[in-house]
Amino acid sequence: MAVAIKVTSEESSVIEALQQIINLDTSKMYDEIGAYGVSSTQMRFVDQHDSDGNPWKQSWRAKEQNGQTLRDTNRLMNSLTHNVLPNGVEWGTNVEYAPSMHFGFKATARSGYLLFNVVGQWRKVKSVESEPRPYLGINSDDEKEILDIIGNHIHG
């Protein structure tokens, strides 16, 4: 099904604005939005809170080392990247433990114990549970910034 829209106006500014939208290079706009999204997400690691400003529960390791949760090696935070798609942008990470950190997890030994080392101390437990520490998401400040980026690209 073919669709056609015809816009006529006595105001040349309306026609000029529509022409800017038609000629918009969305890949540059999506790239800028993605870079912003990565930066905003990384700041949640620095500030230790989710997209709504709710503080993360401090991890045992962070308490023991007087450090920050999810920042021991900074691998997860530094792995964040974005991909420009034909009709949008996505950002996130391919680090294998990323979903467990975002959503939380519970691991239970099938038999015996789980054995792991934290801050040089070996722990032997039947199960371990980690609180969710959501780092992905868009809040109202992010929405405003993304709309500003879009506006800047439309208005040149």
pLDDT in tens, 124-146: 999 989 999 999 999 999 999 99
Q: Answer whether residue 21 is part of any domain.
A: no
Q: Answer whether residue 124 is part of any domain.
A: no
Q: Answer whether residue 54 is part of any domain.
A: yes
Instruction: DSSP letter for 49, please.
Output: B
26-71 confidence digits (pLDDT tens): 899 999 999 999 999 999 999 999 999 999 999 988 998 999 999 9
Q: Answer whether residue 117 is part of any domain.
A: no
Q: Answer whether residue 16 is part of any domain.
A: no
Q: Answer whether residue 15 is part of any domain.
A: no
In the chain, the number of structural domains is 1
Q: Answer whether residue 75 is part of any domain.
A: yes
For the chain, the average pLDDT equals: 88
H helices present in the chain, as ranges: 12-22, 26-47, 60-65, 75-79, 98-103, 140-155
State the residue range of the domain holding 48.
26-105+133-155
Q: Answer whether residue 113 is part of any domain.
A: no
Instruction: DSSP letter for 56, please.
Output: P
Using 50, 70 and 90 to split pLDDT, how confident is the model at 114?
Answer: very high
